[in-house]
Amino acid sequence: MGDTAPDEFRFLTDEASEFQISGPLPEARRDRVPDRSGRTVSFIEWGHGGPVATFLHGAGLNAHTWDATIMALGLPAIAVDLPGHGQSSWRDDADYRAVTNADAVGSVLERLGADCQVLVGQSLGGLSAGVVAATNPGAVCGLVVVDVTPGLDPEIGAEQVRSFLAGPRDFASRDEIVDRARAFGIGVSRQAVARGVALNTRVRDDGRVVFSHHLANLDGLAAVSDDPGSLWPSFERLTIPVLLIRASRGILDDRLVAEFLERVPGSESVTIDAGHNVQEDAPVALAATISSFVSRTAGEPDAWASSSKGTHEHA
């Protein structure tokens, strides 16, 4: 099933080398399914067999943001292009809220017959993942939420993304975009940002470079913002293990983490030394944290259930 686009995966060897990820690289291939409205939802399959984990990216990113994390994790996985991003269809109504994304992701899990996997989501993907977990209880047996909570003020939390997207809509070259991203403090290296830009842009017929996602063609991020607090009920009714990952240089503060741990049953938190895009800044540390969570969730559910809420740091 699916098709392979070698050019799409041309950076994997370099990325593995940069983050010192050893061993043979897993096979990666592109596939797609229609959502319940007939729109295309595209995703990358890693490895063979049913996915152990499904990954959802943040606003303005795409499935490739997880490449290094999934390579380091070394488990069968899928990484979804959320609606309006990557190779997934744009919506005519420009509705990219978490609840809307969750419906599209649910259709992917349904089509693949996914059963008892860990759902990992960062930023907008983390909020979307919470709704997916609440509405697809048979398919999800653990949830990892990366540097976001339903209590985050979207006006504050999305400031960096909002400011970055508020710039020009087209550019003379990809290098110009890389320069702009680095000026905003995005990425751990110029090389890493250049890879991301190459996989998140296209060249128009007139030679100008534009982002591939729909958000770059919209005014502001209203299309990704749910009403404040509207997602809490989805998180509060979860009965599966939940791990909140806080980026040390991210957008969560102590109050937001404490609120999450108080309101989400059975939740724990861990801090990783990284910026908001943890999967790009510290993919190996993130993969190790997810691996531990997967082992505990799938292999030792009783141990998780008996543990108390808490927080710890991870360098």
Q: List all residues 6 or more positions away from 8 whose beta carbon is below 8 Å from its beta carbon.
A: 30, 64, 199
* Kind and range of the H or E run holding 119: strand 117-122
The string of pLDDT tens digits covering residues 46-93 is 998 889 999 999 999 999 999 999 999 999 999 999 999 999 999 999
pLDDT at res. 36:
86
The CA–CA distances, whole Å, from 71 to 46, 64, 194, 266 equal 9, 11, 19, 29
The phi, psi pair for 308, rounded to 5°, reads -95, 160
Burial profile 242-257: b = 16 or more Cβ within 10 angstroms, e = fewer = bbbbbbbebbbeeebb
The pTM score is 0.90
Among residues 251, 260, 267, the alpha carbon closest in space to that of 229 is found at 260
pLDDT at res. 97:
92
What is d(CA 22, CA 13) in angstroms, rounded to the nearest whole number?
Answer: 10
Name the E strands within 163-288: 201-203, 209-211, 242-249, 267-275
What is d(CA 188, CA 211) in angstroms, rounded to the nearest whole number?
Answer: 20
What is d(CA 105, CA 169) in angstroms, rounded to the nearest whole number?
Answer: 28
Q: 3-state secondary structure string, 275-303?
A: ECCHHHHCHHHHHHHHHHHHHHHHHCHHH
- Are the CB atoms for 100 and 83 separated by under 8 Å? yes
Query: Residues in the chain with pLDDT < 50?
Result: 1-6, 300-309, 312, 314-315
DSSP bridge pairs for 78? 45, 54
Side-chain-facing half-sphere of 144: CA atoms under 13 Å:
29
* DSSP conformation class of 65: G
Catalytic residue IDs = 123, 147, 276
Q: Which domains does the chain have, with CATH numbers?
A: 6-150+227-314 (3.40.50.1820)
pLDDT at res. 188:
87
> 311-314 and 77-80: which strand pairing?
unpaired
Adjacency order of strands within the sheet including 53-56: 28-34, 40-46, 77-80, 53-56, 117-122, 140-146, 242-249, 267-275, 311-314
pLDDT at res. 71:
97
Among residues 223, 180, 222, 184, the alpha carbon closest in space to that of 201 is found at 180
Q: List all residues 6 or more positions away from 269 whose beta carbon is below 8 Å from its beta carbon.
A: 243, 244, 245, 246, 257, 260, 261, 310, 311, 312
